[in-house]
Structure 1
Amino acid sequence: MKVKIFDFEHEEDLEKNVNEFISDKDVINISYQASHFNFNGEQIFSFSCLIQYNE
């Protein structure tokens, strides 16, 4: 088993990259998390996931 972690500021970027990555993998599990925080008065979003897979 292997793992891959993705983290993007836009959910569309996460979706696109995850779909491309898993297209030829035997996926065991995908864990997803979204968070946000303020930095210098700007709201920052983080969309991330951990993929457990076999090649």
Structure 2
Amino acid sequence: MIQVKVIDCEHEKDLEEEVNKFLKTLDDNRFVDIKFNVAAIPEEVDAQIYCFSAMILYKKAAKTS
């Protein structure tokens, strides 16, 4: 079964750290793919809010008896 983990941060370096932290919890054979997105939202005069997000696709761990 494929599952997803969505991570959303205001700064790209924060996203990088969070994604790397999550990937360390996965065995290599469980990783499937990463989808990345950036959104810029205008706010007031001369300001923007950025949203950096990643969706990590991975295989569910096998149950151990």
Match in the other structure for 1:16: 17
Corresponding residue for residue 38 of structure 1: 42
Which one-letter code corresponds to 2:55 in the other structure?
L
Residue 29 (structure 1) aligns with:
33
- Which one of 42, 48, 54 corresponds to residue 53 of structure 2? 48
The residue type equivalent to 1:11 in the other structure is E
Which of the two has greater strand per residue? 1
* Corresponding pairs, count: 55
Report the identity percentage: 35
Q: Give TM-score, length-normalised by structure 1.
A: 0.87
Larger Rg: 2
Gaps of 5+ in 1: none
Unaligned runs of 5+ in 2: none
Give the AA of the match of 1:48: S
TM, length-normalised to structure 2: 0.75
